Amino acid sequence: MNVNKKLDRFKQWAGERMGGEAKTNVSDDFKALEVEMTLRHEGMERLQKSMNAYVKTLSKRNEGEDKEKSLPVAYLGSTMVNHGEDFENDSEFGQCLIGM
């Protein structure tokens, strides 16, 4: 599957370079969506790391990314709030993360 996808991308790139096909244009909406999805992906990775630390131990103190000693549940909560603040003010996803 992955090889076929890369082969298709190569064919598209070669067609664009050789002049046989029109160059693919990306709209501003697509670029904004791509940025938002990258932001969500990075945030979910941080949330997963926090959740793994939380599941590993519920009462043991754990060091987070900021090297500050805190309970795992506090580390998870601060990660959720920080990731929620990464989004626009009108984002429902961001507001839900902050509200939890």
Q: Which of 78, 83, 86 is nearest to 53 (CA)?
A: 78
Mean pLDDT of the 2-29 span: 72
CB 86 within 8 A of CB 38: no
CB 73 within 8 A of CB 58: yes
CA 87 to chain centre: 11
Amino acid identity of residue 32, one-letter, is A
**pTM, two decimal places:** 0.43
Strands 62-63 and 69-70: antiparallel
Mean pLDDT of the 9-32 span: 73
Mean pLDDT of the 51-66 span: 63
Per-residue confidence (pLDDT) for residue 92, from 0 to 100: 81
User: What are the start-end ranges of the H helices in the chain?
Assistant: 2-18, 28-56, 72-85, 92-99
